[in-house]
Amino acid sequence: MVKMIKKGFFSKGLKLPENKISAFMPIRKLPVPGKVLILLQQHFGESCTSIVKKGDKVKTGQIIADSDKLFSAPLHSTISGTVTNITKTLNPFANNIVNAVEISGDGDDSWVELESTAMEEISVNLNKIYSGKPDDDPKAVKDNLQDSQSLWNKLIKVIDETSKEEIIKKIRNAGVVGLGGATFPTHVKLATKKDIDTLIINGCECEPFITSDHRIMLEYGWQVLAGAYIIFKVLSPKTAYIAIEDNKEDAIKLFEKLIMEAGLEEKFGIFSLKSRYPMGAEKTLIKNILGKKVPVGGLPMDIGVVVNNVGTAKAVYDSVSAGKPLIEKLVTVTGDIEKSGNFLVRIETPISDLTACCGKFNIGKMKVIIGGPMMGNVVTDLNFPVTKAINCVLLKQTKGMQENNCIRCGRCVNICPMNLMPLMYAAYAKNGKYEVLREYYISSCIECGSCAYVCPSAIPIVAYIKTAKSVLTGYEK
Amino acid sequence: MKNKETENNGFDNINNNSANNSFKNNVVENNVENKSVNKSNKNRSNNEEELLISHPPHIWNGFSTSKLMYIFLASLIFPVASAIYFFGLRAFWVIIASTATAPLIEFIIKKARKKKFIMDGSALITGLLLALTLPPRIPIWMVVVGSAFSIAIAKEAFGGIGYNIFNPALAGRAFLAICFPVEMTRWYLPQNFGTDAVTSATPLSDSFVYEGSKIALYKNMFFGNIGGSIGETSALLIAAAFIFLIILRIIDWKVPLIFIATIAIFSLIWGEDVLFQVLAGGLMFGAVFMATDYVTTPVTNLGRAIFAVGCGLITFVIRKFGAMPEGVCFSILIMNGFTPLIDRYVKPKPFGFVREKIKVKTKS
């Protein structure tokens, strides 16, 4: 039996209206865009420098930019065509100017030759089994089960035979970064020299509206598990858990079945967590699963834990099994629009291409939010591209809110998952006394937005915190 | 695709406000969601209309300050009911005078300061709380003076809602107690309509003599049939209001309970009548409605506990050794003064706090 642990105690969580409108919309593939502008920094760490010149012909999946620094991941062309320009542009998500490569597509979408591995054939067969419709004939079901078990055995054997260094090299070359939003280069995470005793595959999608991780788990479940096993193999922890919130019953059931079929009951368990915000945040997730706290300023590795998003696990599997680079991303488009949905798009597709598939919507008085409603930033231009960090485009009509005086009700203090005093940040930042905020541990803030959500005076606390943080980092420099 | 204009059209208002001066404006503007001027996008097919910008989070639970205040106001129906039931029409006029004066004065002062007047119910609460702490036969003009003091001096002079250091209602009461000591300590037994009022001492004063069994005394104190301020006498109805506020999560349950428990424990140590000390005077009323005021009490759990213990301790000391029979009002006011200090030094430890790390930081 698969270890099923139900745990739900999360004292400081918010219960948000879920609004997962697109949860039952199957993934749709969008056509390849005609022209892309590839930002040369889409990950946490050093930005890449382009290795192509103007006028070069590139193919889909070809590396166009790289860096020799450790904290970096290469970038690939997401379409085939010609490099038309190498320029500088505003990175809307980190608010800085970055280099960018403009590629004009030739419409062929011809790929570079991918490395073929022993895993490929198994993948094709496994895909056949899992993507097929469920059979009513019990004999066929039994056959399928046996097939899948033998295929899993083969796959696990192949993974076991692949060396750790080779896997990490493949992951790096594919440009895999953490797809939960932090975009921490995965190869750096996996190359840790610290003793890891727990691996957590994070399937908690605690923000309202977003359903991309949910769809990944449902439609690419076996790839996620295989990717998780690859990560497990590299890190060799004692146990691994797949953490899923209890509002995704179907995903929990699917993974229970998959783990049984793959014969990984010994290694993998499932954690069914209560759906509270911010459950999916790394630190709160570890606290809820293991009861351990990540030290201030530290990484989960410091306490022997590695957390990876389900999307990352799938990308890891794709890169190791077929050498396929990370050039596609699943994005949820939802909110105040006619049809919401989950789309598999090439990275650097403009957001307007996505919204065009969602029926009519009234752009006036509309906010276009990249990410969820709690932490997402707005963009001012629908032509901004999808990057590795994006998992949701939320269109939301909103009313203006009036900021009132803080009445010190203490709701923000009670709700803060990081045990901070957010009202002090707003109070001191308003007066420009940013230095004092260090005494209130401002660097521990994860900007989850819970404080501003519950604030009866509608104070934009997160805005004050972000400003204070950027001013304080400015002081340090 | 993205040019300089896109960069300047307000997008960098979101995170990158390094300049202090521009920051204030930006935050305020963004909060009201100013329209970003996308001149550069005008020609494009998708951006014929303008998009809005604002800070995350983009959703709000909609529980506003005024909602909070009106729920609190609703809970005060319980003590108001006991006031009118026990002290009759007279109490009704005290309540009306005080509750009407408070928002009026706030409106006038906001106009004089050229600030926007927001009817969020907080002035009504102040006026009503003040009325409920007054003796039943106080002249109405004194009520008006007290209510005006509460709003004008104790609240607006400090900067309005959220900035006052002392609980305005209690400050108004203290002001009246100092200016009109005779009127403020002339207590009456609860009267039914029509009969003449009989003066009486409050249970806490030395001259208080109760003719009857102790059980009957407790019973009267519990239901409210005893001399005292108009709203504070009925422990039963105050407890009902307390439960109402707890269920709706308006106040913190810890503060009133710790406050009352502190009094009980010290009474026990000093060999006083514990039940009498808990039920007598304004303790229940002060603990539930005054010591839980948001603005003038600490925000952290530990801070609130310290505040409540301090209130209990000072109340007990005033009752036992002070010149006044009752000390709830002054104990809460004194602890209000300590609130900024408590908030400054009693901070919760952040998630994953490591002591060594901080030490290293302070050395460098």
Contact at 8 Å (CB) between A7 and A284? no
Angstroms from A54 CA to nearest CA on chain B: 17
Q: What is the fold of A329-397?
A: Ubiquitin-like (UB roll) (3.10.20)
Q: How far is CA A250 from the centre of its chain?
A: 20
Burial class (CB in 10 A: 0-12, 13-18, 19+), A15: exposed
Residues paired with A392 in a beta bridge: A332
Residues of B in contact with A461 (CB under 8 A): none
- Local confidence band at B95 (pLDDT 50, 70, 90 cut-offs): very high
Kindly tell me if the per-residue pLDDT of B79 is higher than 90: yes
Spatial CA neighbour of B222 closest among B210, B238, B208 = B238
Angstroms from A220 CA to nearest CA on chain B: 30
Cα angle A268-A269-A271, degrees, rounded to a multiple of 5 = 140
Q: What is the DSSP string of A85-151?
A: EEEEEEETTTTEEEEEEEEEE-S--PBPPPPP-THHHHHHHHHHHHHSPPPS-HHHHHHHHHHHHHH
A387/A93 Cα distance (integer angstroms): 9
Same domain, yes or no: B38 and B127: no
- Residue that has been written with the tokens 């192509």 in this structure: A52
Q: Does B351 touch chain A (CB under 8 A)?
A: yes
Highest mean pLDDT of the ranges A281-295, A363-377, B169-183, B313-327: B169-183
A275/A9 Cα distance (integer angstroms): 10
Computed over every residue of chain B, the mean pLDDT equals: 81
Kindly tell me if the per-residue pLDDT of B258 is higher than 90: yes
Kindly tell me if the per-residue pLDDT of B297 is higher than 90: yes
Q: Which value, in Å, is the radius of gyration of the alpha carbons in chain B?
A: 25
Q: Does A249 touch chain B (CB under 8 A)?
A: no
Strand-pair category, A75-76 with A63-66: antiparallel
Same domain, yes or no: B41 and B74: no
Segment B11-35 mean pLDDT: 37
Strand-pair category, A35-39 with A96-105: antiparallel
Burial class (CB in 10 A: 0-12, 13-18, 19+), A266: exposed
Looking at per-residue pLDDT, the higher value among B140 and A85 belongs to B140
Question: Looking at chain B from residue 186 to 225, which residues have their Cβ under 8 Å from any Cβ of chain A?
Answer: none
Of A373, A439, A455, the CB nearest to B58: A373
- Residue that has been written with the tokens 């915190």 in this structure: A465
Same domain, yes or no: B31 and B84: no
Strand-pair category, A57-58 with A81-91: antiparallel
pLDDT in tens, B60-71: 888 889 999 999
Question: Looking at chain A from residue 326 to 385, which residues have their Cβ under 8 Å from any Cβ of chain B?
Answer: 352, 355, 363-369, 371, 373-384
Contact at 8 Å (CB) between B98 and B128? yes
What kind and span of H or E run contains B144? Answer: helix B140-149
Angstroms from A353 CA to nearest CA on chain B: 10
Angstroms from A188 CA to nearest CA on chain B: 23
pLDDT of residue A331: 92
Residues of A in contact with B18 (CB under 8 A): 470-471, 474
Same domain, yes or no: B41 and B89: no
Segment B203-217 mean pLDDT: 73
Of B27, B61, B348, the CB nearest to A464: B27
Q: Does B352 touch chain A (CB under 8 A)?
A: yes
Residue B355 lies in a domain: no
A397/A363 Cα distance (integer angstroms): 9
Question: Looking at chain B from residue 145 to 174, which residues have their Cβ under 8 Å from any Cβ of chain A?
Answer: 160-163
Size of interface A-B (CB pairs under 8 A): 243
Contact at 8 Å (CB) between A170 and A323? yes
Spatial CA neighbour of B231 closest among B93, B98, B95 = B95
- Local confidence band at B18 (pLDDT 50, 70, 90 cut-offs): very low
Q: Does A463 touch chain B (CB under 8 A)?
A: yes
Asked if B50 lies within 8 A of A364 by C-beta distance, the reply is yes
Residues of A in contact with B32 (CB under 8 A): 400-402
Kindly tell me if the per-residue pLDDT of B48 is higher than 70: no
Spatial CA neighbour of B132 closest among B271, B237, B23, B37 = B237
Asked if A407 lies within 8 A of B6 by C-beta distance, the reply is no
Kindly tell me if the per-residue pLDDT of A131 is higher than 80: no
Same domain, yes or no: B34 and B87: no
Looking at per-residue pLDDT, the higher value among A164 and B354 belongs to A164
Same domain, yes or no: B156 and B303: yes
Computed over every residue of chain A, the mean pLDDT equals: 86
* Residue A101, φ and ψ in degrees, nearest 5: -115, 125
Report how many domains make up chain B: 2
Kindly tell me if the per-residue pLDDT of B46 is higher than 70: no
Q: What is the DSSP string of A13-76?
A: -B------GGGGPPEEEPPPPSEEEEES--SSSPPPEE---TT-EE-BT-EEEE-SSSS---EE
Mutant choice from B51, B296, B346 vs A, greatest count of A C-beta within 10 A? B51
**Which domain covers residue B8, as residue numbers?**
4-47
Mutant choice from A378, A396, A455, A465 vs B, greatest count of B C-beta within 10 A? A378
Asked if B18 lies within 8 A of A374 by C-beta distance, the reply is no
Listed range (A4-18, B70-84, B108-122) with the worst mean pLDDT: A4-18
Of A398, A452, A471, the CB nearest to B52: A398
Q: Does B62 touch chain A (CB under 8 A)?
A: no
- Local confidence band at B196 (pLDDT 50, 70, 90 cut-offs): low
Residues of A in contact with B38 (CB under 8 A): 380-381
Per CATH, domain A3-23+116-322 is 3.40.50.11540: yes
Segment A264-273 mean pLDDT: 88
- Local confidence band at B310 (pLDDT 50, 70, 90 cut-offs): very high
Residue B169 lies in a domain: yes
Asked if A400 lies within 8 A of B32 by C-beta distance, the reply is yes
Residue B38 lies in a domain: yes
A362/A396 Cα distance (integer angstroms): 10
A466/A442 Cα distance (integer angstroms): 10
Same domain, yes or no: B288 and B240: yes
Mutant choice from B29, B54, B59 vs A, greatest count of A C-beta within 10 A? B59
A309/A210 Cα distance (integer angstroms): 14
Angstroms from A293 CA to nearest CA on chain B: 5
Residues of B in contact with A471 (CB under 8 A): 18, 20
- Local confidence band at B362 (pLDDT 50, 70, 90 cut-offs): very low
B42/A310 Cα distance (integer angstroms): 39
pLDDT of residue A11: 64
* Residue A3, φ and ψ in degrees, nearest 5: -65, 115
Q: How far is CA A174 from the centre of its chain?
A: 16
- Local confidence band at B12 (pLDDT 50, 70, 90 cut-offs): very low
Highest mean pLDDT of the ranges A144-148, A378-382, B46-50: A378-382
- Local confidence band at A398 (pLDDT 50, 70, 90 cut-offs): confident
Q: What is the ipTM of this complex?
A: 0.85
Give CATH 3.40.50.11540 domain extents, chain A. 3-23+116-322
Instruction: Report the b/e string of B198-214 with b at 16+ CB within 10 A.
Output: eebbbbbbeeeeeeeee
Segment A201-207 mean pLDDT: 89
Kindly tell me if the per-residue pLDDT of B363 is higher than 60: no
Residues of A in contact with B46 (CB under 8 A): 352, 355, 363, 382-383
Instruction: For the domain covering A35-105, report its CATH number.
Output: 2.40.50
Same domain, yes or no: B22 and B96: no
Asked if B60 lies within 8 A of A466 by C-beta distance, the reply is no
Segment B240-268 mean pLDDT: 94
Residue B54 lies in a domain: no
Same domain, yes or no: B77 and B8: no
Angstroms from B177 CA to nearest CA on chain A: 27
Helices (H) and strands (E) in chain B, counts: 16, 0
Angstroms from B7 CA to nearest CA on chain A: 7
Of B17, B51, B350, the CB nearest to A467: B17
Q: What is the DSSP string of A268-327?
A: EEEEEE---BTTTSHHHHHHHHH---PPTT--GGGGTEEEEEHHHHHHHHHHHHH---S-
pLDDT in tens, B222-240: 888 888 888 888 999 999 9
pLDDT of residue A68: 85
Give CATH 2.40.50 domain extents, chain A. 35-105
Nearest chain A residue to B116, by CA: A404
Looking at per-residue pLDDT, the higher value among B187 and A456 belongs to A456
Q: Does B252 touch chain A (CB under 8 A)?
A: yes
B26/B41 Cα distance (integer angstroms): 22
pLDDT of residue A406: 92
pLDDT of residue A137: 63
Cα angle B259-B264-B269, degrees, rounded to a multiple of 5 = 130
CATH number for the domain including B79?
1.10.3430
Segment B90-113 mean pLDDT: 94
